[in-house]
Amino acid sequence: MKNIEYLPDIKVGEKIKLEPEKAKLNPEKLLPVLKDCLAKQADKYNREYGRSWLNLDASINMSTQPDAEAELERIGEQEKQWASECGKSHKQWTEDRELNPAMLTEMALTVMMQRLLPDRFMVVRSATYDDYNYGVDQLIIDKETGAVVCGIDEVIDKLGNMGPSIKEDKVKNKMLKGGARVKYGATVRQNQLKLEPIQNIPAFYISLQKKELVKLGESISEGEPTEYELELMKRITIFLKKQAKTALTWDLDSRLQTKVQVFLDSLESWPA
């Protein structure tokens, strides 16, 4: 009987890896990193305007604004209803939501854009009320023009292109109805921050696959922005330009059409 010949560098009894292992998302590890980055940026924006207009998670602070108490109660009721539908306590639902890939995507993209966009732009997360009721995850504020140049909704693509195509239809429908709106918005006028409702906001979306979220999380965890972040930011810029140019071919409200053009022009200063 001949001796068995093994492949070079393979030891007897060792499993052969036919494909490299895919990096896996580790929400428990990534979440505190993202929270720390968002808290630091929120503090920077708050100090810039001398007021606590952002929460630690870089979302617009509702509590200091008129009529917020009733809206905060409404948010609590909404969350309890969703928790009940999932068979969870409110506390468990809230904790699970933070670890959800979609939430991590929103946080990670906010951190990345805060790190890479020119200083003239502020990237903040929308108030919880506007997230739940108007479907706006982020607001990008142009300090040079003072306007909210766009509202962003993220989608993590789990099923091929199904997620983005559905989101594209929803965004188009929103734009044809006059654009996004928020009750708790922020604008800059003569270097002064003003908190107010905003309408006719250009609405766009960003699609991210789970493997891209894993890479982005790893990049952010390294501290300084990496080449991967810059490359991803360039791709997002191109994607948003395409959406804006497409939107200009639709029958939009004249005010919204002007704002889309302003946003398209501002994209020229983004990484590309």
pTM, to two decimals: 0.86
CA dihedral 65, 70, 75, 80 (to 10 degrees): 150
Q: Which helix (H) or strand (E) holds 103?
A: helix 101-116
**What are the residue ranges spanned by the domains of the chain?**
29-266
What's the whole-number average pLDDT of the chain? 87
Mean pLDDT value across residues 18-32: 74
Cα 88 to chain centroid distance, Å, stands at: 26
CB 94 within 8 A of CB 79: yes
Phi, psi (rounded to 5 degrees) for 254: -60, -35
Asked if the model's pLDDT at residue 17 lies above 50, the reply is no
In this predicted model, what pLDDT tens digit does every residue of 212-265 receive, in sequence order?
999 999 999 988 899 999 999 999 999 999 999 999 999 999 999 999 999 999
Q: How much is the pLDDT for 66?
A: 79
The β-bridge partners of 203 are 151
pLDDT at 198: 94
3-state secondary structure at position 262 = helix
- Please tell me what DSSP assigns to residue 224: S
Q: How far apart are alpha carbons 200 and 263 in whole angstroms? A: 13
* pLDDT digit string, tens, across residues 176-194: 999 999 999 999 988 899 9
CA separation for the pair 85, 47 (Å, rounded):
40
Task: For residue 126, list its beta bridge partners.
Answer: none
Question: What is the rounded distance in angstroms from the CA atom of residue 29 to the CA atom of residue 42?
Answer: 21
